[in-house]
Structure formats: C-alpha cells, structure tokens
C-alpha cells in the first residue's frame, strides 16, 4: 500500500481536508469514465431526438457543449441520467441512474482505497452517498418554475448533515475529484479549515437545493477556495464545512464525489446499497463484479418505487430558530 504519508494524515486530521495533487492518472483512471459517459450522453441525445424533445443530437459538439445544448433545448438539467445514486425522494421504477463498469472501477480504484486505508484503516465500505456532478455554467443553466437556477452553486453544508442521524459517529470520508480542471471560475469547492472540530452544525431545508448551513453560522472570512487540476484529489472530513462557488465559466464543471466508511458503521442511507470495497481481514467479502453492483441499485430502485419514499432522508426542521 502506498496511500498517504504521515504528514498528509496529520494535515487531514488538523485541517479537516487534504488536497493531493496529481494523485490519479488522467489517462488511466479518468479517460475510461469520460468515454463511458460520452456513451451515456450519446444515447440520451438520440432518445430525446427520437421523441421530438430536441431537434438535433448535437453530435458535432464536444461533451460540455453537447450537454449544455441538449439541456437547454429540452429545458431540463438531465443530471439524474448520469448519476450513480438515486435521488432522495420521488423515486420511480424508471428513475434514471447510471451504474456502468467504468464508474464501478473508480469506486474500487486501488489508489483511492490506499488513501482511505491511511485514514480509516483497511476495512473499507463504499458508502452509497455518491454522485457525479455535471454543473452547467450559470449563464447557460436551467431555471425551475420559481425561477431558481437548478444545480447552481452548492450551499454551505457538512456531508454529515446530509445523512441520517444514525451515521453521526460514522467515520465517513469524502473523496472529491474533477474529471477535468476545476478552476475558481468553474465553481470549485471552498472550505473553512478546521471547522470539522466544531461538531455538527444545524442545517436548514432548502427545497430543491437540499439542506444548507445558514451563512450566519459560517466563518466566511476564513473560507479557502480549492481550485483543482484533472487528477487532483480532495479528501474531506465528514464535518468539514464546505460549499461550491458559482460556475461563471462557459463550460460544464464535471466532478465525482465518493464516500467511504469503516465496514460495520452506518452509512446514513441504509435504504441504498453499498459494498465492501476492501477488507484485509476478509478479502472474499469484497465486491469485484460491476454487474452485481449495478443489479443492487436497480433492485433498490424497484423496491423503493413500490414502497413509496416521500420522507426518506429529511432530518432537519425548517422551524429551527437559526432557519428563521
């Protein structure tokens, strides 16, 4: 195992975050994922064109421009078609989800697992609170019926705050990486160093934006932006206060956020399927089959759609005093 150095682990524990430059190989680790997603976009565009939703498949454009044009012409963000997790509510039998083998390989990337092992030990569970983020430029984005930009800048939050209370003591690590460069203008993340030492902060429901921490509870003057290059990896403590800046560039900001915790600890979304990514004590328990991983999500979608899921992940009360 290579993993993180003792100095890097110490920095993570002290600051609550760690950026490791060039940790992933852009060609070996990221290009297969990008190729897989190009296929997803191609099939989506063809389907929307066949249904008359869009007048062109925009096949002559690169991935970013093509996605922007397809979203604008359809009037929808279409993000769920690319995500490898289900939404938090209104899950239907046909809710889109993408669980391809290249994505599964990223979840099991040995370099990523080496780093996680440095932080939480060798018994590693892939937490199902995971996403791909394809954020359109704000000037070219899609607004909802209320005029609010869909998938704009992410409000301040802690990843501990978007899971259920049973996972409050789970040693959950977030792994954030950009599939291409994420400079400040494209909406990189920003963090408040050391804020993880302050415990879980009250969040307020924000409708379609999920939940966020009121600005009056954030030490905004101490916030640090974290521009990233392709191949850089950011590790976040579960209680690190962070947000994303607005994407004021002309290009999609494309990133992954993955989460891991020690085997046996609560994921905070037990309705969703995780898996054993690494186990030194019981290696035969590891999941190596991308088809089995995909099947677990499809079965979960079927089950939840049949049972109903209106109040699945809500833990915050809009009537809280700080939310007023």
Assess if residue 33 is contained within a domain.
no
Tell me the pLDDT band of 311, cut-offs 50, 70 and 90. low
Does residue 240 have a pLDDT over 80? yes
Does residue 144 have a pLDDT over 90? no
Tell me the pLDDT band of 149, cut-offs 50, 70 and 90. confident
Assess if residue 43 is contained within a domain.
no
Residue 151: per-residue pLDDT: 76
Does residue 1 have a pLDDT over 70? no
Lowest mean per-residue pLDDT among 72-81, 89-98, 144-153, 248-257: 144-153
Lowest mean per-residue pLDDT among 145-149, 249-253, 279-283: 145-149
Residue 312: per-residue pLDDT: 58
Q: What's the mean pLDDT in 174-194?
A: 97
Assess if residue 65 is contained within a domain.
no
Cα–Cα distances (Å) from 111 to 36, 102, 175, in that order, read 21, 15, 12
Assess if residue 88 is contained within a domain.
no
Residue 147: per-residue pLDDT: 66
Residue 317: per-residue pLDDT: 84
Assess if residue 229 is contained within a domain.
yes
**Tens-place pLDDT, residues 60-70:** 999 999 999 99
Assess if residue 176 is contained within a domain.
yes
Distance, in Å, from the CA atom of 73 to the CA atom of 51, rounded to the nearest integer, reads 13
- How many domains would you assign to the chain? 1
How many angstroms separate the most distant Cα atoms in the chain? 57
Assess if residue 62 is contained within a domain.
no
Range of the domain at 116: 6-28+100-293
Does residue 257 have a pLDDT over 70? yes
**CATH code where residue 232 lies:** 2.60.120.620
Assess if residue 126 is contained within a domain.
yes
């Amino acid at each position: 195992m290579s993993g993180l150095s003792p100095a890097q682990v110490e920095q993570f524990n002290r600051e609550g975050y760690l950026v490791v430059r060039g940790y992933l190989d852009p060609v070996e680790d990221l290009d297969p994922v990008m190729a897989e997603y190009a296929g997803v976009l191609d099939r989506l565009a063809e389907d929307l064109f066949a249904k008359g939703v869009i007048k062109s498949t925009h096949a002559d454009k690169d991935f970013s421009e093509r996605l922007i044009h397809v979203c604008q012409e359809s009037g929808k963000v279409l993000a769920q078609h690319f995500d490898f997790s289900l939404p938090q509510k209104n899950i239907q039998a046909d809710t889109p989800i993408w669980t391809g083998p290249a994505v599964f390989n990223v979840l099991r990337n040995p370099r990523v697992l080496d780093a996680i092992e440095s932080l939480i030990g060798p018994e590693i569970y892939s937490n199902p609170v995971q996403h791909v983020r394809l954020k359109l430029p704000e000037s070219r984005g899609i607004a909802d019926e209320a005029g609010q930009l869909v998938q704009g800048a992410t409000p301040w939050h802690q990843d501990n705050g978007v899971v259920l209370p049973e996972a409050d003591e789970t040693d959950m690590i977030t792994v954030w990486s950009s599939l291409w460069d994420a400079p400040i203008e494209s909406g990189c993340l920003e963090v408040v160093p050391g804020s993880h030492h302050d415990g879980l902060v009250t969040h307020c429901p924000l409708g379609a934006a999920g939940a966020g921490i009121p600005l009056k509870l954030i030490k905004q003057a101490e916030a640090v932006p974290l521009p990233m290059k392709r191949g850089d990896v950011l590790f976040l403590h579960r209680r690190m206060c962070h947000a994303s800046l607005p994407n004021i560039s002309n290009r999609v900001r494309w990133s992954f956020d993955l989460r891991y915790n020690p085997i046996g600890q609560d994921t905070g979304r037990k309705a969703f399927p995780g898996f054993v990514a690494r186990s030194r004590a019981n290696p035969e328990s590891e999941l190596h089959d991308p088809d089995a991983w995909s099947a677990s999500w499809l079965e979960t979608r079927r089950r939840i759609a049949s049972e109903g899921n209106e109040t699945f992940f809500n833990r915050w009360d809009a009537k809280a005093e700080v939310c007023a």
